[in-house]
A and B are shown apart, each in its own frame.
Chain A
Amino acid sequence: MRPFQYDRARTLTDAAQIMQGEDAMAIAGGTNLLDLMKLQVETPRELADINRVGLGEIADTDDGGLRIGALATNTATAVHPRVRADYPVLSRAILAGATQQLRNKATTGGNLCQRTRCFYFMNIDQPCNKREPGSGCGALDGIAKLHAVLGASGECIATYPGDMAVALSALDASVEINGSDGTERTVPVRDFHCLPGDTPWRDNVLEPGEIITAVTLPAPVGGTQLYRKVRERSSYAFALVSIAAIVEMEDGVFTRADLAFGGLAHKPWHDPRIAQALVGNAPSAELFDRAADILLEDAQGHGENDFKIPLARRTLHAVLEQASEDAA
């Protein structure tokens, strides 16, 4: 690791102050950041340790929702009684990711901020526009098995690897953010992560100095909730394709179909047209194909990852079939 200044923040105000420093970064669980610092992919000059600032609480909100503090660990969130009962897709998504050791350390805010990344980003001897703007994208003509088929650009085809955020996207959660000048703002999680475009170094909308303070879930909608993750190993592997689904049916037709997709793009993928196509219709193979046509209308493979396009279609079929059977 490159040398850095380490400061332990006791309050959010402390943290905000430290974060004003040049090349300052917040560290919480550290499971992604320290990994990248060891590889010299991340080289902050200053680290604000925010573990002691008291943002670990998970509490009910006035409207019946749930506010998950930015420092609540992935484990604390996944096993929380209300998450298990009211937002099971979130428990399932978290439990499908990483390992118990990592989930015990990883936090809600940190998990959202984990870098969208690929092998080329992780290796400082390789070109990567995300790590080193203008150096090129090694994956475009290289190893691209895990890479994006939706929303990519000629600059970057990496995928966002997290599972939690895919469930949060299906649940339409919000991200609470504090600025280093004390201002607060809230961003829908669906708008929190960015597509690469011509600024692939930008993974999310956080401005320098900003810190996530919480994620808020709306009042529970019930329904059948499931998270299907297709991967090369049955545990501790990133998704090739994953789907978070919240489905309700009435009189044989879909009345709700909130879906979000992982493993396909630089961010958790959510397309409101899919719910519009499904709601009001009875489940059928033709309907599921129509939903997949919408999802994949602009899909583009890069050779090695071409398989993700039919895999996403089949996974969507399987999820909608199972969810509609469970919800009926």
Chain B
Amino acid sequence: MAETISINGTAHPIPEDPRITLLDFLRHDLRLTGTKKGCDHGQCGACTVIVNGMRINSCLTLAAMHEGDEVTTIEGLGTPDAPSPMQRAFLENDGYQCGYCTPGQICSATAMLGEIANGWPSDASETLDGDIEATGDEIRERMSGNLCRCGAYANIVAAIRDVAAEESA
């Protein structure tokens, strides 16, 4: 049986050239171009995808290392007709200008709210074991791996706070 990797619920054979990063596999081989290549060195977060529930930089991992893994990209979160709550909140809050970092921001923020729901602390948390609220400080710290060169941060934080408030309501 061929070794496969699941992308948004569909199994794909793992590419033969081991040098292919998960990011290049998504964009170049599968033409899932929602995931963006920014720095290609794990600094900007534009390539963020969710693997087995955890957000990672798809540029700093090889496709071959993900045999049997479940990958969710921006295309897997929602569609233009049926956007995910985070996608809708970015639209409603104008959480972007050029939009290049947006898929990474949205994948990152989606997984980030799960981390808060799990009670996982961040560097901004007062204590390591307290309840965590999606405050501006928490969101800014937890999203520090996603850069926006347009500087749409204020609206990105507002979008994430909206979804956090909906989810905890």
Contacts and interface: CB of A to CB of B under 8 A. Distances in A.
Given A84-B128, A95-B121, A235-B140, A102 B67 contact: no
Interface string A6-41: 101000000000000000000101110011001000
A163 to B, nearest CB: 10
B54 A3 contact: no
Given A101-B55, A104-B55, A79 B118 contact: yes
Interface in B95-141: 108, 112, 115, 118, 120-123, 125, 128-129, 140-141
A111 interface: no
Contacts of B121: 78-79, 84, 91, 95
A79 B117 CA distance: 13
B48 A49 contact: no
Nearest to A36: B41
A105 interface: yes
Size category, B interface: 20 to 34
Nearest to B129: A84
Q: Which among A75, A98, A104 has the greatest number of chain B C-beta atoms within 10 A?
A: A104
Contact of B54 (A5, A88, A104, A234): A104
A235 B55 contact: no
B145 A34 contact: no
Contacts of A100: 55, 108, 112, 115, 122, 142, 145
Contacts of B21: 34
B154 interface: no
B61 interface: yes
A236 B144 contact: yes
Per CB-CB distance, the 10 closest pairs between chain A and chain B, nearest first, are A99-B145, A6-B18, A235-B144, A84-B128, A104-B54, A236-B144, A79-B120, A95-B123, A101-B145, A1-B19
Interface of B: 18-19, 21, 40-42, 45, 48, 54-57, 60-62, 64-65, 67, 108, 112, 115, 118, 120-123, 125, 128-129, 140-142, 144-145
8 contacts: A3-B19, A35-B41, A38-B41, A84-B121, A88-B128, A102-B42, A105-B57, A105-B60
Given A35-B60, A75-B54, 15 more contacts: A4-B19, A6-B18, A6-B62, A27-B62, A29-B61, A31-B57, A31-B60, A38-B41, A47-B18, A52-B67, A95-B122, A99-B45, A101-B55, A102-B42, A104-B55
